[in-house]
Amino acid sequence: MSDGDERHRLIHDELPKEHEDPLIRVLHLVIRSSVRLLAILMMLVIIWGVGDVVYVMYQRLSEPPMLLLDSDDIFDVFGAFMLVLIAIEIFINIRLYLGSNVIPIQLVVATALMAIARKVIVLDLEDWTPMYVLGIAAVVLALGITYWLIAKKD
């Protein structure tokens, strides 16, 4: 292992399995176990979300006019799809964290971008003030620049 790799591991290995203090070892074990529980719960959320997508589509397609979706229905279906995709991204974050004890920063930022993109996709401009829309734009810009900087560094 090179000096850079060793330094990177030491900086980002948040929950090492070995630690000289027994209390810290136990606390790390509790946290890793909690992350495993979160992974199981996220899997349940994903299954529930897929069921919700099916229900939303069934509900929208069974209302008159039958088997047709208007733009509001399509946005509702898109919103349900995006929520499931965001849950999957969060599960991937948890899985990567479990596998390496390192927080995958680029994936976390990408997940945040996906979440804000969902907000933009389902945003009804009639319901929000210009300041709210500018705030969302600022978040999108900041996350986009952050993601670009992280990706450029790698």
Instruction: Please give the mean pLDDT across all residues of the chain.
Output: 83
pLDDT for 10 beyond 50:
no
Q: What is the mean pLDDT of residues 104-114?
A: 87
Q: What is the mean pLDDT of residues 20-45?
A: 89
pLDDT for 97 beyond 50:
yes
Enumerate residues 6+ apart whose C-beta is below 8 A from 49. 80, 83, 84, 87
Q: What is the mean pLDDT of residues 109-121?
A: 87
What pLDDT shows up at residue 16? 64
Higher-scoring residue by pLDDT: 3, 32? 32
- How far is it, in rounded angstroms, from Cα 111 to Cα 83? 11
**By the 8 A CB rule, do 46 and 90 touch?**
no
The answer, as to whether pTM is greater than 0.85, is no
Higher-scoring residue by pLDDT: 133, 125? 133
Backbone φ and ψ of 37, nearest 5°: -60, -40
Counted residue by residue, the chain has a size of: 154
Structure tokens at 94: 């948890």
Per the structure, the count of domains in the chain is: 1
Note down the domain range covering 94.
3-153
